[in-house]
Amino acid sequence: MTASSSAPERARVKLKPKANARALRHGFPWVYANELVTDRRTRKLAPGTLAVLEDEAMTPLGLVAMNPESKIIARILDRDPAAVIDTDWFATRLRRALELREQLYDAPFYRLVHAESDGLAGVVIDRFGDACVVQPNAAWAESHLEALTEALAAVTGVTTILKNATGRARGLEGLDDQNATLLGLAPEAPIAVGMNGATYMADLTGGQKTGLFYDQRENHGFAARLVKPGAKVLDVFSHVGGFGLAMLAAGASEATCVDGSAPALDLAAQGAAAGGMADRFVARQGDAFEELTKLGEEGAQFDVVICDPPAFAPSKPALEAGLRAYERVAKLAAPLVAPGGYLGLCSCSHAADLSKFRNASARGIGRGGRRGQLLHTGYAGPDHPQLPQLAESGYLKAVFFRLD
């Protein structure tokens, strides 16, 4: 099965004279709606339609996937305008992505495809052993899902492939939010994933996103290095216990995990039990800001405090409000850190660059009556490679402070 057997006659779309064709030639993967000539014919193209992109002089720049309903009106798929998007095309990109991950990791638990950075615009694939979870977050990927599924099974040998349709980006593309099983049977129980000496339980069908956030793996490991035997640690916005379980595995005497989701905390507890650490695990369900305030009122102190909130600034319009939220997190968390202890603050907001996030964090620490040293800046792991031309691919930041 292939999406097509030969390159069909395709629509042609053209950049406006002031569009930055040079950036596209040098690797930028997106064309925004205000950069493209959008006549009646172009506006009628169905989301996911493949077209040949031309510059002002009508020189082909490559094959793009169109979506006139999206701010990102065209995504570059291939520099060859005659490329055929079929099973073989997907397999070539998947093999390249798999080769990198197999070199980096001993076990098949990682992000296999990180969208544009791996040459598959808008496509995220996380692997959990014999299962993969696909997020087709762009219209073209949705319309080529059969070919992608066949190639993914052939290249990796996985027996289960699930579609997760809950991503915010799908709504921006005009896509539905219906999950599906594309191959095999959905697992009936969470899958155990070992990282940094801890065991995490990934719910592939009912959990957040694909079931586990692999992007923090390296930062979990750094936080574990800050733990002395017997330390008390706090993991706020903990999800399934990402930082907390890693620090327990490193010898913490107690880890308190705070999250608003009871199912996520239940998975964290299962992970602690699977690692033989249930007696040192404490869960607090509730709004993170409220729980941080309560802990402060209780006079609680921890040797390491980590806060890994959701994206407070998912877009530029939300940036200022998001930065205030990050500052507030730091203000509430800083007093909970024992003298000489450590505070780790994270952001997955691509609209808040490292400088803005770091400054908001430092302001919050100061407003919390503390001062300290910036020890380390962390990013997503190498299974989340960055496309240098696309700032959004480097969304994750983590800053670690030692507080006086």
The angle subtended at Cα 55 by Cα 52 and Cα 61, nearest 5°, is 45
Instruction: State how far the alpha carbon of 171 is from the alpha carbons of 49, 62, 76, 250, 326, in Å.
Output: 18, 26, 20, 40, 25
> Do 396 and 249 reside in the same domain of the chain?
yes
> Do 171 and 292 reside in the same domain of the chain?
no
Domain end point (choices 139, 165, 183): 183
> Do 270 and 368 reside in the same domain of the chain?
yes
Q: List, in sequence order, every residue forming a beta bridge with 347; answer none if it has no partner.
A: 397
- The token duo for 93 is 């990109």
**3 lies in a domain?**
no
29-47: pLDDT as tens digits? 999 999 999 999 999 999 9
Alpha helices in 16-68 (DSSP H): 21-25, 40-43
Residues 78, 63 contacting (CB under 8 angstroms): yes
> Do 95 and 68 reside in the same domain of the chain?
no
Domain end point (choices 152, 183, 214): 183
Residue found under tokens 């302001």: 363
List all residues 6 or more positions away from 395 whose beta carbon is below 8 Å from its beta carbon: 311, 348, 349, 350, 380
Q: How many domains does the chain have?
A: 3
> Do 300 and 242 reside in the same domain of the chain?
yes
Q: In what order do the strands lie in the sheet with 281-285?
A: 281-285, 254-259, 232-236, 302-307, 337-347, 397-403, 372-378
Domain end point (choices 78, 109, 130): 78
pLDDT score, position 4: 42
pLDDT score, position 8: 63
**What pTM did the predictor assign?**
0.93
> Do 43 and 96 reside in the same domain of the chain?
no
Amino acid at the residue 335? P
> What DSSP state is assigned to residue 82?
T
> Do 167 and 266 reside in the same domain of the chain?
no
> Do 338 and 360 reside in the same domain of the chain?
yes
pLDDT score, position 180: 96
Domain extent at residue 141: 87-183
> What CATH number is attached to the domain comprising 109?
3.30.750.80
pLDDT score, position 211: 86
348 catalytic residue (yes or no): yes
**322 lies in a domain?**
yes
> Do 254 and 326 reside in the same domain of the chain?
yes
Which of these is catalytic: 257, 307, 346, 348? 348
Residue found under tokens 């093999």: 95
**382 lies in a domain?**
yes
> Do 67 and 167 reside in the same domain of the chain?
no
List all residues 6 or more positions away from 82 whose beta carbon is below 8 Å from its beta carbon: 7, 63
> What CATH number is attached to the domain comprising 73?
2.30.130.10
**246 lies in a domain?**
yes
Pick out the chain residues at pLDDT < 70. Answer: 1-8
Query: In angstroms, rounded to a whole number, what is the distance separating the alpha carbons of residues 103 and 220?
Result: 21
